[in-house]
Every structure is written in structure tokens, then in C-alpha cells.
Amino acid sequence: MSRITRTATISLLSAATFMCPTISTANEAAHGPHIVEIFLGATSADHHGSTEQAGSLGASYRYAFNHTVSAGVLAEYTGGALDHWGLGVPFVFNLGHGGWQGTLMPGVEVTSSHEKALFRVGLGYEFELDGYALKPELNVDFVDGETVYVLGVSLGFRF
């Protein structure tokens, strides 16, 4: 992993960690423009000729420009045999007036031996609850001619 990538990843995760106490006390501002999400899921990919599956954990920050569009930064780690980081700039679009959201994200997949460009396409449904939101989602990453599926749920906070 390059020095720049390592620094960016640590910075993003540190910022998300330090913001959590502020977010948990800001329930009355549930519709603010700042969105922090923590992701937990599973990734499935063809890896060295076989299908591998591993757990994924991620964090993201987005700013909502209006009701329709938000953009930000994302860092997601996948363990096991896949052992890589996904770093990107997600653009999230609210689809209509319901909870459906589409994601388009250019980014990079980073392992100890390489960095490859990736492009993510995702679909999720956000359930707004008292002070937070749950969003089951399916993301498909296109990396160097391979297709990687990421299924999971995000816990989001707005402030």
C-alpha cells in the first residue's frame, strides 16, 4: 500500500471515529446536509480462478447538496483471501420521493501489491428511523475486467 493511500485511509477512518460522539447527540438535526455511514457486509469475487467470499467493513462521509444528490469519500476494507481496500468518491442519488438510492463511484482497489482503478454501481433502500437510518444495499464493483459483488447494510447518521 502506498504511503499516500495509507495516509488517506487512516485520515478518513480517524475523522469518522472522532465525529461519532457529535453525531449521536445531534438527533434533532436528523435532516442536516452531512451524512456519515458505517457499512458491514460481505464481498464475493473471482480471485485466482475461484470464487472467494469475505467480510467487508467501511465508512463514508457525504455532503447532501440537495434532496437529490450527495457526494463524499468512502473507505472499505475486505478481509480474508481478498484482503484489499476500496477507496472512492461516491455520488449518491435519491431516486424519487421514497427511500431508493443509486450510487455511482469512481475509485481505486488497493492491495499490498497493486492499485487498480474501480468503478462501483449500487442500489439501496434507506429506512429513516429516529436519529439514524438503515440502508440495505447491493454494490457491484468493476475492477480490471472482473466483477465484485458487495452486499450489506449501512448505518447512517445525518447532522
Q: Which CATH class is domain 3-158?
A: mainly beta
What per-residue confidence (pLDDT) applies to 31? 75
116 pLDDT exceeds 90?
Answer: yes
Contact 110, 84 (CB under 8 A): yes
pLDDT tens per residue, range 20-77: 433 333 333 457 899 999 999 999 998 667 899 999 999 999 999 999 999 999 999 9
Query: So what's the pLDDT on residue 157?
Result: 96
As given in the structure block, the three cell numbers for residue 53 are 467470499
Can you spell out the DSSP letters for 91-129? Answer: EEEE-TTSSEEEEEEEEEEE-SS-EEEEEEEEEEE-EE-
CA angle centred on 126, ends 124 and 130, rounded to 5°: 160
Per-residue confidence (pLDDT) for residue 69, from 0 to 100: 97
Dihedral Cα 111, 112, 113, 116, nearest 10 deg:
20
Neighbours of 3 (CB within 10 A): 7
State yes or no: pLDDT of 16 exceeds 60: no
**What are the residue boundaries of the structural domains of the chain, listed by start?**
3-158
Q: What is the pTM of this model?
A: 0.79
The dihedral built from the CA positions of residue 74, 30, 139 and 82, taken in this order, carries a sign that is positive
Mean of the per-residue pLDDT values of the chain: 85
Residues whose CB falls within 8 Å of the CB of residue 79, separated by 6 or more in sequence, listed in order = 54, 55, 56
Can you give the pLDDT at residue 131? 86
Average pLDDT for 86-111 = 96
